[in-house]
Amino acid sequence: MSILLGEDQVAFGAAAGRLVAARCDTAGLLGLLEPAGRDDRAFWAAAVADGWSAIVVPPAYGGLGLGLVELGQVAQAAGAAPVGMPWLAPGAIVARALLRGDDRAAAQAWLPRLAAGERAALAFAEGCEALPGTPEVRWRQGALRGDKHGVVGGLAAAVALVWAGDGTGPVLALAELDGSVARRGIDSFDNSRLPADLAFGGTAAQVLASGEAAHDLARELMAAWAVVLAFEQLGGAEALLWRARDYAVTRRAFGQPIGAFQSVKHRIAELYGLVEIARANCLHAAACDGTAEFARAAAAARLSATEAYDTAARDCVQVHGGLGTTWEGGLHLHMRRARSLAAECGNTLRWEDWLVDAIAGIAL
């Protein structure tokens, strides 16, 4: 179910790109790398005003009522910077969980807040496994106790979607991160993602799904999360492709542009191929949302976008030579983001296993 973007979707992505270009610059992003616990709050406020946080929320709750394709266009624009905040994908996935969950009161309470820019975090990645181990967090009598490690955005999020256990099976619960939650920030190589360990100490939570329904919902949410991150990775890979191309046609050595040398031009051509494969997979996955093919398409998008961004981050530095390793050049912003996005939502080995499981038996 591949698609071509419509005029409205192209315009939506272009508007997001203009916001990123106007509000993000290399100097500002470099300032977020070394201090732990800081993200670009001013940019997120501008993005909320532009409707980013309301994309997938239905109009009845104050949102735009759009889909994964439009959300992907915004994520792609964000990845091109790369923006210094982690809130786009988690907010959309939590909204999706509320719309598909069993607690209508929670949806009524939280969807308008998410549309208005409330910051969210996702603490349920292990829920995508077919047979996950015993959850570290326990849900008893409406409250959560236990620890979650390495939660992206956990240092400043107001609400989190949590994979937990109730003694008889898994639950997917929504918890407000109030004073009962102890947060320990993690000093990482991409600090604007605000990773943190969360310790729940009797935190009130609403169960959105339990038992087998929790497994099914977690897998669907993981697939959607992977597609949004894949679009973000695509945006970063494409931005690096054009930076490598532009440098190769202007930088001269031995009397000619370095792009005239086969070792450089072939590298850039290979990057172009990886970017276009990732683009096709991302659009296909977004178009498959709600179909039986969605999980398989999401895994393919995730894997191809991870390869494209990792390769582009490495090769763009190589094309720039010594200049590519300087702090001021900012290419390491993408190198760091490529590695952090590759680890979020499960690593490559997990998604390879997911894809193998999804296609098993098709050729028989």
Q: How confident is the model at residue 1 (pLDDT cuts 50, 70, 90)?
A: very low
Q: How far apart are CA 193 and CA 339, in angstroms?
A: 12
pLDDT in tens, 321-330: 988 899 989 9
In CATH terms, the fold of domain 120-211 is Butyryl-CoA Dehydrogenase, subunit A; domain 2 (2.40.110)
> Measured in whole angstroms, how far is the alpha carbon of residue 312 from the centre of its chain?
18
- The topology (CATH level 3) of 216-359 is Butyryl-CoA Dehydrogenase, subunit A; domain 3 (1.20.140)
Nearest alpha carbon to residue 100 among 229, 226, 219, 227 = 219
Which H or E element spans position 122?
strand 120-123
pLDDT digits (tens, 9 = 90+) for 35-70: 888 999 999 999 999 999 999 999 999 999 999 999
pTM (predicted TM-score): 0.94
User: From the CA atom positions of the chain, what is the Rg in Å?
Assistant: 20
- End-to-end alpha carbon distance in the chain: 22
Alpha-carbon distances, residue 179 vs 38, 47, 123, 201 (angstroms): 20, 28, 18, 9
So what's the pLDDT on residue 357? 84
pLDDT tens digit sequence for 205-259? 999 999 999 999 999 999 999 999 999 999 999 999 999 999 999 988 888 888 8
Burial class (CB in 10 A: 0-12, 13-18, 19+), 360: exposed
> How distant is the alpha carbon of residue 257 from its chain centre?
37
Compute how many other C-beta atoms are within 10 angstroms of the C-beta atom of residue 131.
5
Chain centroid to CA 231: how far? 8
Place of tokens 């792609």: 76
Domain locations along the chain: 7-105, 120-211, 216-359
For domain 7-105, which CATH number applies: 1.10.540.10, 3.10.450.50, 2.60.120.920, 1.20.1370.20? 1.10.540.10
Instruction: Report how far residue 283's alpha carbon sits from residue 305's, in angstroms, rounded to the nearest whole number.
Output: 11
